[in-house]
Amino acid sequence: MRNDTIIRTPVWPTLLTLLVLTLLAADVLGDVATADPRAARPNAIVDLRTPLGVELVGGTWRFREPTIAEIDHRATGPDFKPSGEAIHTHDLTPRAGAAGFDDADWPAVAADQLEARRGTGRLSHVVPHQRDRAGAGCGV
């Protein structure tokens, strides 16, 4: 008769080692740099829908109902970009997001009144525009 001796090693040291290695890897890999700007945390968040938020940035909300204008453009080309033949199409004007855009003649709107109805009804598109102290505008 054979006398076989089975040596059993405890499982918990191996599991503990795997757990520690997993946590270390997660800590190291968690600090991977990314080019995604949404991954960075902001220094501050300002709610521009409130009078206090607009005051903090020294801003002013302005409003204008745009018009539909006929413009020259290009048809979609084989590259799915506007590289085809010259065509006429429609666009909304003005384009309030451009740098240096002058909205001085637009009526000002209080931040707590932004959700009030301003459009005329059936075909309506409202262009709210916010300008901060530095004069940088942001169309919304």
Is 4 contained in some domain?
A: no
Identify which has the larger pLDDT, 27 or 81.
Answer: 81
Q: How many domains would you assign to the chain?
A: 1
Is 25 contained in some domain?
A: no
Asked if the model's pLDDT at residue 77 lies above 90, the reply is yes
The residue range of the domain holding 106 is: 51-139
How does pLDDT run across 78-102, given as a tens digit for each residue?
Answer: 999 999 999 999 998 887 777 778 8
Is 27 contained in some domain?
A: no
Interval 101-111 mean pLDDT? 86
Give the percent of the chain with pLDDT over 90: 18
Is 110 contained in some domain?
A: yes
Is 62 within 8 Å of 131 (Cβ atoms)? yes
